[in-house]
Structure 1
Amino acid sequence: MELVIAIFIGLLYASGVYLLLRRSIVKLILGVFVISNATNLIIFLSGGITRSGVSFIGDEAEKATLETMTDPLPQALILTAIVIGLGIAAYILALKYKYFETTGTHDLDQLSKTDQK
């Protein structure tokens, strides 16, 4: 299962870098989002994938062993990263809206032509 997720993460990084290298500002923003999600999946994968593993020890302390427990820290980091990513997404989309209002184009190559007025 970890191998399938690792291959999927590699595909996400590849498509994110591809989108970053495009000329459109919209594709650049989408590339940042895809790379952000791929990074979240790497953090999730670092915690290990165990089915029915407990993240904390309650009354069943005698049943829980180190092999059956999952690490809750990567899950907490991912939740924090998702919240921060949504804030950054809102900010980037507001900047993109203002960028299009000012320049009238989505193409980054045409931006150099707007400087020569």
Structure 2
Amino acid sequence: MNRAFRFTLAALSCLALTAQAADLAAGKAKSEQVCASCHLADGNSTNPQYPILAGQHPDYLRKALRDYQSGARSNAIMADQAKALSKAEIDNLSAWFASQPSKLNMAR
């Protein structure tokens, strides 16, 4: 193996060890505990006051929750909900909602 290839392989191995896959089952369980009353457990809210989370990009959902935690995004209810979440819980919730089929009505 050449030196560049070994370096690349070592770097990718480190990334794989540090990146932790989200736990969909944990995301589902957490959604049932803290999200379902407004967004429903699968993220397909039927109340127009609460956004549909199902099918959203996980990066968007993670950023939104972290922004609620930090105060960069303002909503009293969501700020309180988000502050109680760990990084792993945010990752799990984001992955769970992203994996759910969305019932958004796409008008054209």
Q: TM-score, normalised by structure 1?
A: 0.27
Indicate the structure with greater helix content.
Answer: 1
Structure with bigger gyration radius: 1
Q: TM-score, normalised by structure 2?
A: 0.28
